[in-house]
A and B are shown apart, each in its own frame.
Chain A
Amino acid sequence: AQSVTQPDIHITVSEGASLELRCNYSYGATPYLFWYVQSPGQGLQLLLKYFSGDTLVQGIKGFEAEFKRSQSSFNLRKPSVHWSDAAEYFCAVGAGYSSASKIIFGSGTRLSIRP
């Protein structure tokens, strides 16, 4: 069955420091992968997506992610975090090849920013 694992429940980084959030997925074929961000009390905003092609994808707010098939990973990175990046980050995989494929979410990583 498809699944997504985010091993880090909570990460704290200093403002201006680099960030990497880990994500591993389990899926039998080429996955459709996403990162979403959820600020407190807000909905889910799509940061970036990978469907095919270049394995390094750029997203909004200066985020990028790299798809590594050999490691079944899709880690999210940002070279320099800002205090406004404090939020919950969800890695997700599009499950199934039916035309109405659902998204399966990881359990999320909460990011705190140290001033």
Chain B
Amino acid sequence: EPEVTQTPSHQVTQMGQEVILRCVPISNHLYFYWYRQILGQKVEFLVSFYNNEISEKSEIFDDQFSVERPDGSNFTLKIRSTKLEDSAMYFCASRPGLNSYEQYFGPGTRLTVT
């Protein structure tokens, strides 16, 4: 069964460094998302992406964040200058198309900022 994959599974970085989290959505899906889950808290929406542009972003998704679909398979989340409070599990999700609203999540990347 097709699944969303994410790399790396765990990333440790120093405050102020740039990180890129990578995702390979399910093939032929059209909508892509990033969510994050700070330890012990609920899963929060960050950004949605469709047709090579951002559809919606939350207030968390400030100028330090960016997303890109550099080719036909990868979907990346970049944090330009990480802060301690960026430490969280980051989930990528994809959705088939207009008439399918369920989102399929990857296993997540645990980001630890020291």
Residues of chain A touching chain B, judged by Cβ–Cβ distance below 8 Å, are: 32, 34, 36, 42-46, 49, 51, 90, 92, 94, 96, 98-108
5 shortest interchain CB distances as A-B pairs: A100-B55, A43-B107, A44-B105, A100-B48, A102-B45
Q: Does B7 contact A (CB under 8 A)?
A: no
Are the CB atoms of A43 and B105 closer together than 8 Å?
yes
Distance A102 CA – B49 CA, assembled complex (angstroms): 10
Q: What residue of chain B has the Cβ atom nearest to residue A48's Cβ?
A: B102
In the bound complex, do residue B101 and residue A101 qualify as a contact, i.e. CB atoms below 8 Å apart?
A: yes
Within 8 A of A (CB), among B17-35: 31, 33, 35
For the A-B complex, the count of residue pairs with Cβ-Cβ distances under 8 Å equals: 61
Number of B residues near A (Cβ < 8 Å) is: 26
- Asked if B55 contacts A103 (CB within 8 A), the reply is no
**B45 nearest CB across to chain A (Å):** 4
Measured CB to CB, the closest approach of chain B to A96, in angstroms, equals: 8
Known: A49-B101, A105-B42, A108-B42. A43 touches B91 (CB 8 A): yes
